[in-house]
């Protein structure tokens, strides 16, 4: 889930462009979720991470969140995993453990 509404920005030529971010579930099972986040912005110009909250469907106690070689988080709080991920990058992999 990505929080917030689409962002509108204005460049020096006063052309407005709507920015969209999409989060897609690639696969999901009892101990792993794979996601992909994309953005309409050019990744060469915009490489800032976005904060994402994912609901833990299996009541995990701990988890590992990775994107490429980056380990992003290992906390599950009240059934929600929060982490930062870079749009148009590698798949996001959330691996959980119940104990």
Q: Looking at residue 65, which CATH number applies to its domain?
A: 2.60.40
d(CA 93, CA 20): 22
What is the sign of the dihedral through the CA atoms of 95, 51, 20 and 66? negative
Query: How would residue 15 be classed by pLDDT, with cut points 50, 70 and 90?
Result: low
Residue 27's domain spans which residues?
21-97
The count of other CB atoms within 10 Å of the CB of residue 94 is 23
Number of domains present in the structure of the chain: 1
CB burial string 36-62: b at 16+ within 10 A, e below:
bbebebeeeeeeeebebebebebebee
> What are the beta bridge partners of residue 50?
85
The answer to the question of residue 56 being in a domain is yes
d(CA 7, CA 18): 6
> Does residue 61 lie in a domain region?
yes
Q: Is the pTM of this model over 0.85?
A: no
Chain segment 39-61, per-residue pLDDT in tens: 888 888 887 888 899 988 788 88
């Amino acid at each position: 889930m990505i929080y917030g509404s689409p962002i509108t920005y204005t460049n020096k030529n006063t052309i407005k462009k709507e920015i969209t971010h999409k989060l897609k579930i690639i696969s999901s099972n009892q101990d792993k979720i794979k996601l992909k986040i994309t953005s309409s912005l050019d990744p060469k110009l915009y490489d800032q991470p976005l904060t994402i909250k994912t609901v833990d469907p299996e009541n995990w106690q701990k988890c590992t969140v990775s994107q490429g070689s980056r380990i992003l988080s290992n906390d599950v709080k009240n059934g929600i995993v929060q982490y930062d991920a870079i749009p148009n990058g590698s798949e996001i992999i959330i691996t959980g453990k119940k104990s």
